[in-house]
Amino acid sequence: MGELVSPPLPTADQTRAWGARLGRLLRAGDLVVLTGGLGAGKTTLTQGIAEGLGVRGPITSPTFVIARVHPSLVGGPDLVHVDAYRLGGFAELDDLDLDTALEDSVTVVEWGHGLAEDLTDDRLEVTLQGEETRTASVAVHGDRWASDHLDHLGVLTEPGLGTLTEPS
């Protein structure tokens, strides 16, 4: 497997633009787990993913409703946007029945590290770091993102958009 590291993302617009590029690579059945502290840009990145997918917005943090479904406007997969911050464990995440929508949608789970991995073996784990200038690292897991699919992630290696590296 490989890992992608974004370039510096000093503004919300650049974070959204990078997310849009990632969103254009996603397809039905994909799971994206977002990790990062408060204010790290998880919802901003999801806004970009939503733009790349062509789904109906607005995309806001689903902290209090836990999950929102954003239907596709272009005949692609819907976006299921989950905020697992308030969930007490996998059992509560499982109660959302995300696995029923997982096949037909792109699912993005904020605060999902340690919870959402049991939903599927195929996933991207995106970690956002940095305060004034953030970066995103993307770890790939499962057959969907096996080495023959990493070229598709390589689209993100356009000038100024990050590079693929092998994990150390």
The CATH code of the domain that includes 81 is 3.40.50.300
Given a cut of 80, whether residue 167 has pLDDT beyond it is no
Report pTM. 0.84
Q: What integer is the mean pLDDT of 119-131?
A: 89
19 domain-assigned: yes
pLDDT given at position 84: 81
The total number of structural domains in the chain stands at 1
Residue in 124, 109, 101 with CA at minimum distance from that of residue 28: 101
The pairing of beta strand 135-141 with beta strand 31-35: unpaired
Domain that residue 42 falls in: 3-133
Quick check: bond before 167 cis, omega within 30?
A: no
71 domain-assigned: yes
pLDDT given at position 50: 97
Residue in 115, 137, 122, 109 with CA at minimum distance from that of residue 33: 109
Judge whether 47 and 19 are in contact, CB under 8 Å.
yes
Residue in 111, 106, 139 with CA at minimum distance from that of residue 2: 139
129 domain-assigned: yes
Rounded CA separation 38/45 (Å): 13
160 domain-assigned: no
pLDDT given at position 149: 54
pLDDT given at position 30: 93
Given a cut of 60, whether residue 163 has pLDDT beyond it is no
148 domain-assigned: no
165 domain-assigned: no
pLDDT given at position 166: 40
168 domain-assigned: no
97 domain-assigned: yes
Residue in 39, 49, 22 with CA at minimum distance from that of residue 132: 39
